[in-house]
Amino acid sequence: MHFEYSPKVRDLLGRLERFMEDHVYPAEHEYHDFIERSENRWVIPPVMEQLKARARSEGLWNLFLAKFDDYGSGLTNLEYAPLAEVMGRSFIGPEVFNCNAPDTGNMELLARYGSEAQKQQWLLPLLNGEIRSAFAMTEPAVASSDATNIECRIERDGDDYVINGHKWWTTGAPDPRCAFLIVMGKTDPDAPPHHQQTQVIVPMDTPGLKLLRPLRVFGDDDAPHGHAEILFENVRVPVGNRIGGEGQGFEIAQSRLGPGRIHHCMRLIGSAQRALELMCARVEHRVAFGKKLSEQGSIREDIARSLCEIEQARLLTLKAADKMDRTSYKDARDLIAMIKIIAPTMAQQVIDRAIQAHGALGLCQDSFLPRAFANARAIRLADGPDQVHMASLGKAVIKRYTA
C-alpha cells in the first residue's frame, strides 16, 4: 500500500510542523500554568486566542472539513490524517487550528444536515472560532454504548420541542465559550429502535438547562473545556432547531462518528509518537547503575516494540481513511472499528512505557505524559467502547467467512 500526497498536502504538512515547533510547543506550559494560577479555572488563557489568530492568518484553519469546499479545506480524510497526527502531538494543538473535538463533528454535522438558518446562526461562528459547542448523548442511567437505550425525551408541543432528561460526559459544555449543545433524545419510543431518536440544537442559556458539575478524568477536571453532567427540565426550543428529520438522529450520529473516530485515532498516533521521541531523548541522557538507560536491553525492546505498534496503527488508520474516501462510511466501518480497537490501546501502552522510562517525572504536571495517558485511556470508551467495536467487527467477520 502506497500513499502519495499532493503538493498541497505536503506544503500544509510542512507548514503545520513548523508552526507546532515554533509556536504551539513553546506555549503549552504558559497555557496550563495560566489555568493553574487562575482563581477560576474555567477561563481561556489569552495565548490560545493569539495562537488561533496567527494560525488563521497563515491559512492553517479548518483543515478537517474535508467534503464541504464552501467551508473547509477540501481535503479528503486520507489527506487530513497526517495533519491530525501532527496536531495530536499537543493537547492544545487541535484548537489552535480550529480542528478540535467535539466542534469538528458538530461542524460536519451542521454542514451536512443543518438548515440554512442553522448554518448562519451556529455553523459560521464555529468555523470562525468565535464560539464552542458540545454533543449531549451519553446518559448516566443507561448503557449509552447502545444508543437505543437513550431515555432523554424530546416531545413535540405545538411549534416547540420540550426536552426532559439527564446527560453526562458532555465534553466541552463547561467551556465558557460553549454556546449550544446538540442533544440526542427520543421523539418516538414506539418506532423501530434505530428510528426513535432525534437531534436538536439547544442554546446553553435556555431555561431549564442545568449544568450540574464538571466531571473529572482520573482526578483532572480538564479545565477550561471539561465534561459536564447536565439536567434538562422542561427545556423548550423551537421545532426549527431540529437537525434533519424526526427519527433521523441515529443515522446522523453514525455519520458524525465515522470521521470523528479517524480523527481521534490519528491524534492518538501523534501523541504516541511524541511519547516515543521523549522516551528516546530521556533514556539517552540518564545514567543508572553505571551506564545510560538507552544501553539497557529492556529499554531498547520497549522502544522497538513501540515503534512497530505506532507504525502498524498509522498504516491501518490511513487505510481506513482511504477506503472511506473511495467508498463510504458504511463500506469502511470494519476498518474504522479496527482502528478504534487498536489505536487507543496502542497509545496507552506506548505512553505507559515512556512514563516508566521517565521515572517520577513521568507522573507529574511537568511532563506531557500523564495527560496523554489519561486521554488515551478515556478514548477507549469515547465514541464507542472497545467491546462494542469488537462485538460488531467479530459479527461481521463471522458472517463474511461463513457466507
Phi then psi for residue 165, to 5 deg, are 175, 180
Residue 1 domain-assigned? no
**Do residues 263 and 397 both lie within one domain?**
yes
Residue 126 domain-assigned? no
pLDDT of 69 higher than 60: no
**Do residues 238 and 265 both lie within one domain?**
no
Instruction: Give the confidence band of 1 by pLDDT, cuts at 50, 70, 90.
Output: low
Instruction: Give the confidence band of 4 by pLDDT, cuts at 50, 70, 90.
Output: confident
CATH number, residue 344: 1.20.140.10
Q: How many distinct structural domains can be found in the chain?
A: 3
CATH number, residue 51: 1.10.540.10
Average pLDDT of the residues in 383-400: 94
**Do residues 221 and 266 both lie within one domain?**
no
SS3 of residue 360 by DSSP = helix
Residue 127 domain-assigned? no
**Do residues 51 and 137 both lie within one domain?**
no
pLDDT reported for residue 152:
98
Residue 384 domain-assigned? yes
**Do residues 190 and 108 both lie within one domain?**
no
**Do residues 388 and 257 both lie within one domain?**
yes
Phi then psi for residue 209, to 5 deg, are -90, 115
Rounded distance between C-alpha atoms, residue 195 and residue 198, angstroms: 8
**Do residues 136 and 100 both lie within one domain?**
no
H/E stretch holding 86 reads helix 77-87
Whether the pTM exceeds 0.85: the reply is: yes
Residue 381 domain-assigned? yes
Look up cell 489505536; give the residue: 343
Residue 369 domain-assigned? yes
Residue 119 domain-assigned? no
**Do residues 205 and 323 both lie within one domain?**
no
pLDDT of 167 higher than 90: yes
pLDDT reported for residue 372:
97
Question: How do residues 354-377 score in pLDDT, each as one tens digit?
Answer: 999 999 999 999 999 999 999 999
pLDDT reported for residue 65:
76
**Do residues 96 and 170 both lie within one domain?**
no
**Do residues 379 and 260 both lie within one domain?**
yes
DSSP letters spanning 91-142: SSHHHHTT--TTHHHHHHHHHHH--HHHIIIIIHHHHTTS-EEEEE---SSS
Residue 124 domain-assigned? no
> Using alpha carbons only, what angle is made at residue 228 by residues 222 and 232, rounded to the nearest 5 degrees?
170
pLDDT reported for residue 68:
57
pLDDT reported for residue 31:
97
Average pLDDT of the residues in 122-138: 97
pLDDT of 163 higher than 80: yes
pLDDT of 127 higher than 70: yes
Question: How do residues 294-350 score in pLDDT, each as one tens digit?
Answer: 999 999 999 999 999 999 999 999 999 999 999 988 899 999 999 999 999 999 999
CATH number, residue 158: 2.40.110.10
User: What is the pLDDT of the chain when averaged over all its residues?
Assistant: 94
Instruction: Give the confidence band of 383 by pLDDT, cuts at 50, 70, 90.
Output: confident
Give the residue among 402, 351, 345 at the shortest CA–CA distance from 378. 345
**Do residues 47 and 190 both lie within one domain?**
no
Give the residue among 239, 271, 245 at the shortest CA–CA distance from 372. 271
**Do residues 186 and 282 both lie within one domain?**
no
Residue after which a domain boundary falls, among 196, 224, 243: 243
Residue after which a domain boundary falls, among 218, 243, 268: 243
Q: Which conformational region is residue 367 in: left (phi greater than 0), alpha (psi within -120 to 50 degrees), or beta?
A: beta
Residue after which a domain boundary falls, among 64, 82, 114: 114
Domain encompassing residue 167: 132-243
